[in-house]
């Protein structure tokens, strides 16, 4: 079956949103990118990594479900914040001008009300956590709200995204253990470098438009040298993941499975075409597979420890 066509750049058309969702609700699901789940995966996987690393055996399925619900609504909230802040920029970029706010399908007031609803759901999930984890989760908002403005002030907004998107690497451990341990900190650092890699790839889609509208990214800062930097980011990711597993006492199966995940990252860099937006998007999306391989490695290493 062929891929669904796109409408106004990066918004899929003819998918489940168009087929099954009432017309008045469609712009809100698109605002939270529910029709493009890769962002949910990239936010959720560090949470599940951390749960697996902290577990005594198999990860708790109830915690896993709570983190999945939280990832959906908080990724949606982050996209809503981003689109409110970037509405003028998005209106000037071919790929993003059809998004709900710049296209007029959702007003800023409506977007703010929808944001409040998403944050309320996220809070309801968070309040099921132990007290320390609740405060730690709430602290993530100090990273979420400034993120859309980082591209205006630094060439490294991808680093801030890494700090934000991988907070679950701390939160999952805290939910299970009631504290932050060294394995969680190493996992968090690994996630930050992973995000620097995959979001640099993503940013190469928009580098021409970013120059025209005057925003910054690692794609523009690193330019043609990006593949060498990607090898460094991804190499650091694997090294820190290995250290996290070692410090948590994972069994030997963790390491060959992590090596297989590393092979996936090497494939990304070796086959990447920085000047082909479609290839950049495809490689970016493939990081879900890397994340699932790492999860399998962590679960195997913990269950067999």
pLDDT digits (tens, 9 = 90+) for 175-229: 999 999 999 999 999 999 999 999 999 999 989 888 888 899 999 999 999 999 9
Dist CA 259 CA 273 (whole Å): 24
Cβ of 135: how many Cβ atoms within 10 Å?
12
- Tell me what pLDDT residue 1 has: 37
Segment 226-239 mean pLDDT: 98
How much is the mean pLDDT over the chain?
93
Determine what percent of the chain is predicted with pLDDT higher than 90.
81
Query: Which residue(s) pair with 6 in the sheet?
Result: 12
Q: How confident is the model at residue 266 (pLDDT cuts 50, 70, 90)?
A: very high
Residue 237: both structure tokens together: 């990711």
pLDDT tens profile 38-72:
999 999 999 999 999 999 999 999 999 999 999 99
Average pLDDT over residues 251-275: 97
The pLDDT of 124-152, averaged and rounded, is: 95
- Provide the pLDDT for residue 125: 96
Element (H, E) at 249: none
Distance CA 121, CA 123 (A): 5
- Output the six-digit token pair for 184: 């969680």
Comparing 9-13, 128-132, 141-145, 278-282, the range with the smallest average pLDDT is 9-13
pLDDT at 4 over 50: no
Please determine, for residue 149, whether its predicted confidence score (pLDDT) is greater than 80.
yes
Q: Are 226 and 233 in contact (CB under 8 A)?
A: no
Name the DSSP letter for residue 215: -
- What span, in angstroms and rounded, lies between the C-alpha atoms of 24 and 201? 34
pLDDT score at 94: 75
Domain over 14-303 is classified CATH 1.10.357.140 = yes
Compute the C-alpha angle 303/165/270, nearest 5°: 80
Inform me whether the pLDDT recorded for 304 exceeds 70.
yes
Instruction: Give the Å distances, CA to CA, from 265 to 55, 92, 193, 246.
Output: 26, 33, 12, 21
Sorting pLDDT into bands at 50, 70 and 90, what band is 5?
Answer: very low
> The whole model's pTM is what?
0.92
Residue in 88, 94, 174 with CA at minimum distance from that of residue 126: 174
Say if CB 63 and CB 172 are below 8 A apart: yes
Structure confidence at residue 92 (pLDDT): 79
- Radius of gyration in angstroms for the set of CA atoms belonging to the chain, rounded to a whole number: 19
Task: Express each pLDDT in 27-39 by its tens digit.
Answer: 999 999 998 999 9
Q: How far apart, in whole angstroms, are the C-alpha atoms of residue 245 and residue 237?
A: 12
pLDDT (0 to 100) of residue 10? 67
| DSSP conformation class of 205 | G
User: For residue 6, is pLDDT > 70?
Assistant: no
| DSSP letter string, 126-173 | HTTS-HHHHHHHHHTHHHHTTHHHHHHH-S-HHHHHHHHHTTHHHHHH
Name the percent of the chain lying above pLDDT 70: 97
Query: What was the pLDDT predicted at 9?
Result: 60
State residue 98's pLDDT score.
Answer: 86
Closest CA to 143 of 81, 189, 96, 186: 81
């Amino acid at each position: 079956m062929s891929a669904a066509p796109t409408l106004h750049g990066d918004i899929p058309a003819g998918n489940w949103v168009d087929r099954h969702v009432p017309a008045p609700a469609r712009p809100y699901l698109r605002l939270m990118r529910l029709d493009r789940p890769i962002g949910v995966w990239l936010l959720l996987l560090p949470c599940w990594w951390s749960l697996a690393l902290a577990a005594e055996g198999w990860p708790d399925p109830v915690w896993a479900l709570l983190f999945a619900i939280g990832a959906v609504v908080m990724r949606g909230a982050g996209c809503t914040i981003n689109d409110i802040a970037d509405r003028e920029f998005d209106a000037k970029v071919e790929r993003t001008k059809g998004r709900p706010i710049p296209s007029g399908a959702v007003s800023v007031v409506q977007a703010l009300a929808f944001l409040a609803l998403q944050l309320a759901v996220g809070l309801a999930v968070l309040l099921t956590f132990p007290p320390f984890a609740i405060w730690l989760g709430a602290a993530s908002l100090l990273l979420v709200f400034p993120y859309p403005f980082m591209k205006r002030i630094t060439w490294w907004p991808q680093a801030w995204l890494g700090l934000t998107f991988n907070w679950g690497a701390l939160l999952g451990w805290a939910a299970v253990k009631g504290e932050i341990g060294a394995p969680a900190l190493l996992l968090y650092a690994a996630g930050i470098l992973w995000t620097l890699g995959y979001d640099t790839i993503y940013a190469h889609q928009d580098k021409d438009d970013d120059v025209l509208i005057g925003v910054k990214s690692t794609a523009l800062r690193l330019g043609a040298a990006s593949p060498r930097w990607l090898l460094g980011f991804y190499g650091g990711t694997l090294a820190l993941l290995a250290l996290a597993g070692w410090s948590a006492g994972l069994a030997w199966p963790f390491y060959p499975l992590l090596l297989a995940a590393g092979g996936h990252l090497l494939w990304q860099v070796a086959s990447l075409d920085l000047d082909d937006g479609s290839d950049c998007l495809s490689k970016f999306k493939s990081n879900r597979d890397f994340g699932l391989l790492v999860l399998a490695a962590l679960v195997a290493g913990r269950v067999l420890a």
